[in-house]
Amino acid sequence: MSSENTSILESLRKRSGLLVAIVGIALMAFVLTGLFSSPNSMFGGGGQEVGEIAGKKIKYEVFKAKVDEAVENQKRNSGKTTLTESETDGVIQQVWNQQINEHVMTKEYERLGIAVSDEELYDLMVEHPHSSLVRQLSDPQTGKAVQRFADPQTGMLSPAKLREFTQAMTDEEEAQWAQLENYVRQVRIIEKYNNLIKKGLYVTTAVTKRNFTAQNTNANIKYVIKNYKLVPDSTIKPTDAELSEYYNSHQPEFKQTASRKVEYVAFDIAPSQEDFDNAKKDMEKVAADFKEQKKEDDSTFVVSESDSRFYDMTYHAPGTLSPQIDTTMFKSEVGTVYGPYLENGTYLVAKLTGSKTSADSAKFRHILIAYEGSGASDTKRTKDEAKKFADSLMTALKGGKAKFAEAVEKFSDDRGKTKPADKKDGEDYPGKGGDYGWINAKSGFVEPFKNAGLDNKKGDIVIAESNFGYHIIEVLDTKGSQRKVMVATIDKKVEPSAKTINMVYSEANKFAAANTTNEAFQKAVIDQKLNKRIADNIKESDRTIAGLENPKALIRWAYENKKGTVSEPLEFGSKYIVAVLTDVKEKGIAPLEDVKDALTEKVIRKKKAEMFTKEFNDAMAGGATIEAVAAKMKLALEQAPNINFNSAAIPGSSNEPAVMGVVSTLKAKSMSKPVEGREGVFLVYVDAVTPAPAQKDYKAQQTMEMSQLQPRVDYEVFDALKENANISEHIVKFF
């Protein structure tokens, strides 16, 4: 790279040709737009905020400008004039993620002085292409570089061709290359940051030895448990003071994220009987017009009148049509119109447009002439070249100038002709000589291939085109015959009319107006026997709610209203819903009243544990054995052999980490003090301990533990920094 300029691009002016050559670069341009701009550019000016990241308020007007730019990039790169709502949501989320990266990660990189110099970037872009660049300039299917940048010998990315390209870029290509440079630079910075942390991670020999000992030490234990369930909760009444004391001393247990709980009833927008009747009348007129259509006009009429806009030219065998028309069509004459008939909420009219006789089954062989993109081979032959070759070969076969068996071996692109590794010379296998045996209408082959064999006579040689290429088919033999029919179908889905939609809205609105409180809402649900649905733990950043199409409006409503509010009818796809906001949780420590039930349960368990511990201590007085304690307290004495010190579970019980922690500290023939566990209070006696085998060198174990620890850096560090950034998002209020 030239030293007279500080920018890669300034030293690589006057270049050519990236636009059509780079696979996937258009998408990368979208992803990278604005990805690592200066954090300061986000601030300044008043206005509403879409969120806050690491103390920086993200202004709506600035964020929207970035979204608009990203949307335009997405439309340009995808060739679309508009994006779907789902695609737009994806763009918005991508821009938000970019903001998180800017204000969380970039700050870390700058603080640590991590950067990529222009010289290093040039090396990563040209001399020794970085793996992220290689991926962008390679075909994801083959893994080989796109032709323009490929080494002709290896198919891999060629530094020489990259250098050649960077010396002749157009202005537009240069802009795209700059975005790709920015992407590679940031990927390399992330690698440096993660590697820096990974190099700082270390598992000491002492820790490795402790882990090895825990993993390989076993104990045989006896234990007694007094389960909390033995004393009914109703017999213990915590005081307000006890609840407050526990709540104040265990605040982290009541930490919560912001969420909402919504309960709602749905009023489905479905066609009424009147809508069905009107649709049937319309289709009766269509059927009458269909009867009058000339055969040559059938396809135009079907396409213009059908919702699906599809004209079926397939010949169907008996049993393959809808049960409602199958028998009729196979007994009728060409031109017969049947319907309207109703299937799955759609009225249909069917017309028999063609009929022919076909073999029940046929034995035939084929020669496949593939072309580039047909999916059958790696040939570079064009479609026109394949058609001309297939025509000339068929002429030679028909004229006796070529033998079919020899032509299969010499010219067919069908991989099925190749003998499988488990077959011996002379043995038969499907595809040998282009022959797949007897084939019928239900055989698992593409329709054009099957039909060409079934629809022609023994001895015929014909050409059929499929997605694999051109098949030259010779019919060797046929069995039986059957009628096949071509049926054109006009379909019209019955939709709710404006009158029906208004009626459903009126019903939903009447319900909302009559039940404006949570109490009234819940009573009405019971009285009217409505199906109430619940959407719990809704986050402001959520994009989906099960059962609702694009629920942003409901999420926005839930975060803009107070607990107990009942909504007006909200439309979601084919339904109106009326919702009530039944729970509001804000980020932080949950108020005592909101967690009183869970808090009471915890305090009751704590009081039981204290009571049971006293009972155990009384029973242990005078050095009683564990057997004596069990007998005195009328509890079962359990045994658990081969308990591993690295486990948190006791066989027959749930995970009991506190109990297992105590067990790991006891020597053989010793008994614990009472231990407060998850299911109850335990008393444990260690009968015998099988120590871990002696180990002279822990290096292999140490290396393994470090290799398991370091990959976690790639995702856990970012999550930790995000958590510390105290991110709040309110995008749903604006988009």
For the cut 50, the answer to whether the pLDDT of residue 46 exceeds it is no
- Per cent of the chain over pLDDT 90 is 64
Q: Write down the pLDDT at residue 155.
A: 81
Cβ atoms 243, 603 nearer than 8 A: yes
Q: What is the mean pLDDT of residues 160-184?
A: 89
Q: How far apart are CA 731 and CA 63, in angstroms?
A: 10
Residue 719 within any structural domain of the chain: no
For the cut 50, the answer to whether the pLDDT of residue 148 exceeds it is yes
> Are residues 333 and 387 both part of a single domain?
no
Residue 486 within any structural domain of the chain: no
Nearest Cα to Cα of residue 108 among 34, 39, 62? 39
Tokens describing residue 651: 């066989």
Q: What is the CATH number of the domain that holds 569?
A: 3.10.50.40
Which amino acid type is present at position 446? V
Q: What angle do CA 56, 29, 8 make, to 5 degrees?
A: 90
> Are residues 183 and 65 both part of a single domain?
yes
Query: What total of structural domains would you count in the chain?
Result: 5
Q: What is the mean pLDDT of residues 56-79?
A: 89
Please tell me the least confidently modeled range out of 100-104, 207-211, 385-389, 535-539. 100-104
Q: Write down the pLDDT at residue 490.
A: 97
> Are residues 30 and 171 both part of a single domain?
yes
Q: How far apart are CA 464 and CA 357, in angstroms?
A: 18
Q: Write down the pLDDT at residue 3.
A: 38
Q: What is the mean pLDDT of residues 523-533?
A: 97
Last residue of a domain, one of 479, 513, 546: 479
> Are residues 381 and 234 both part of a single domain?
no
Cβ atoms 32, 179 nearer than 8 A: yes
Residue 20 within any structural domain of the chain: no
Residue 203 within any structural domain of the chain: no
Residue 711 within any structural domain of the chain: no
> Are residues 37 and 185 both part of a single domain?
yes
Residue 722 within any structural domain of the chain: no
- Domain extent, residue 625, equals 218-254+595-690
For the cut 70, the answer to whether the pLDDT of residue 689 exceeds it is yes
3-state secondary structure 479-523: ECCEEEEEEEEEEEECCCCHHHHHHHHHHHHHHHHHCCCHHHHHH
> Are residues 457 and 333 both part of a single domain?
no
> Are residues 383 and 526 both part of a single domain?
no
Q: What is the mean pLDDT of residues 9-34?
A: 33
Q: Write down the pLDDT at residue 376.
A: 65
Looking at per-residue pLDDT, the higher value among 282 and 86 belongs to 282
Q: Write down the pLDDT at residue 417.
A: 87
Tokens describing residue 727: 């991110």
> Are residues 111 and 151 both part of a single domain?
yes
CB burial of 651-684 (b: ≥16 within 10 Å; e: otherwise) equals eebeebeebbebbbebeeeebbebbbbebbbbbb
Q: What is the mean pLDDT of residues 431-454?
A: 88
Residue 696 within any structural domain of the chain: no
Last residue of a domain, one of 422, 444, 479: 479
Cβ atoms 521, 580 nearer than 8 A: yes
Q: How far apart are CA 689 and CA 678, in angstroms?
A: 24
Q: What is the mean pLDDT of residues 303-321?
A: 91
Cβ atoms 97, 731 nearer than 8 A: no
Query: Which of the four pLDDT bands, split at 50, 70 and 90, describes residue 47?
Result: low
Q: How many residues appear in the chain?
A: 735
- Per cent of the chain over pLDDT 70 is 93
Q: How far apart are CA 640 and CA 151, in angstroms?
A: 65
3-state secondary structure 78-109: HCCCCCCHHHHHHHHHHHHHHHHHHHHHHHHH
> Are residues 352 and 365 both part of a single domain?
no
Predicted TM-score (pTM) of the model is 0.66
Sheet of 469-479, strands arranged across: 435-440, 361-369, 469-479, 461-466
Q: What is the mean pLDDT of residues 558-584?
A: 96
3-state secondary structure 37-65: CCHHHHCCCCCCEEEEECCEEEEHHHHHH
Q: Write down the pLDDT at residue 26.
A: 33
Q: Write down the pLDDT at residue 641.
A: 92
Per-residue model confidence as pLDDT tens digits over 263-293: 999 999 999 999 999 999 999 999 999 999 9
Looking at per-residue pLDDT, the higher value among 46 and 388 belongs to 388
Q: How far apart are CA 531 and CA 643, in angstroms?
A: 50
Arithmetic mean of pLDDT over the chain: 88
Please write down the long-range contacts of 534-539, taking CB distance under 8 Å and 24 or more positions apart. Answer: 534/261, 534/262, 534/263, 535/261, 535/262, 535/263, 535/264, 536/259, 536/261, 536/262, 536/583, 537/259, 537/261, 538/259, 538/260, 538/261, 538/262, 539/257, 539/258, 539/259
Last residue of a domain, one of 447, 479, 511: 479
Looking at per-residue pLDDT, the higher value among 614 and 24 belongs to 614
Neighbouring CB atoms inside 10 A of 415's CB total 10
User: Which residue is listed with tokens 């530094």?
Assistant: 159
Query: Which of the four pLDDT bands, split at 50, 70 and 90, describes residue 377?
Result: low
For the cut 60, the answer to whether the pLDDT of residue 8 exceeds it is no
> Are residues 352 and 395 both part of a single domain?
no
Q: How far apart are CA 666 and CA 128, in angstroms?
A: 58
Could you give the angle at which helices 699-709 and 205-216 cross, rounded to 10 degrees? 100
> Are residues 46 and 166 both part of a single domain?
yes
Which amino acid type is present at position 556? R
For the cut 50, the answer to whether the pLDDT of residue 28 exceeds it is no
> Are residues 405 and 426 both part of a single domain?
yes
Q: How far is CA 594 from CA 247, 598, 600, 601, in A?
A: 12, 9, 11, 13
For the cut 60, the answer to whether the pLDDT of residue 477 exceeds it is yes
Q: What angle do CA 142, 144, 145 make, to 5 degrees?
A: 140
Query: Which of the four pLDDT bands, split at 50, 70 and 90, describes residue 386?
Result: very high
Residue 344 within any structural domain of the chain: yes
Q: How far apart are CA 213 and CA 236, in angstroms?
A: 43
Tokens describing residue 430: 């499907």
Q: What is the mean pLDDT of residues 417-425?
A: 85
Q: What is the CATH number of the domain that holds 241?
A: 3.10.50
For the cut 70, the answer to whether the pLDDT of residue 183 exceeds it is yes
For the cut 80, the answer to whether the pLDDT of residue 35 exceeds it is no
